[in-house]
Amino acid sequence: MSIDELYREVILDHFENPRNKGALDPHDMLEHGYNPLCGDKIDIYLNIDDAGVVSGISFDGSGCSISQASVSMLTEVVEGKPVQEVEDLIGQFKGMMLEDEPNPFEDDEDLEELGALEGVKNYPVRIKCALLGWTTLAEALKKFHESR
């Protein structure tokens, strides 16, 4: 099996069996994301504890396999992490997708699935799909900082 086939399998698995999909109840924050180019919609539900750690995250929404798989992966990797570490992950993911930086996740067993989305760079119109959940989470974290 080629690496491209493996990546497609990972994306398809997250699309068909999304992790952490559905409203998180209760939640401290809700951020809406929308891609007007294709109509993808994502809502991020988020809880951050007093220590600044993501203690709960889920998503809801609709869209293409790439946007839905990407946000599913996102929820798996950020739960339990401090906000600063989550913001670093967002920066690394955006760097991989937008700035042609090498895949920063391939040597980290907990994050390696994110590398499956690197192939999306071959389809520039789909990059925004992969980034939608990440930019929505970044907006939620921006509001979190403003509220402190």
Domain containing residue 41: 3-146
Distances (CA, A) of 4 to 9, 77, 93, 144: 9, 22, 18, 37
Percent of the chain with pLDDT over 90: 74
Please write down the long-range contacts of 4-7, taking CB distance under 8 Å and 24 or more positions apart.
4/119, 6/116, 7/115, 7/116, 7/117, 7/118, 7/119
How many domains are there within the chain? Answer: 1
User: Do 76 and 21 form a contact (C-beta atoms < 8 A)?
Assistant: no
Query: Using one digit for the tens of pLDDT, what is the confidence trace for 97-143?
Result: 998 788 898 888 888 889 889 988 888 999 999 999 999 999 999 99
Q: Which CATH number goes with the domain that contains 88?
A: 3.90.1010.10
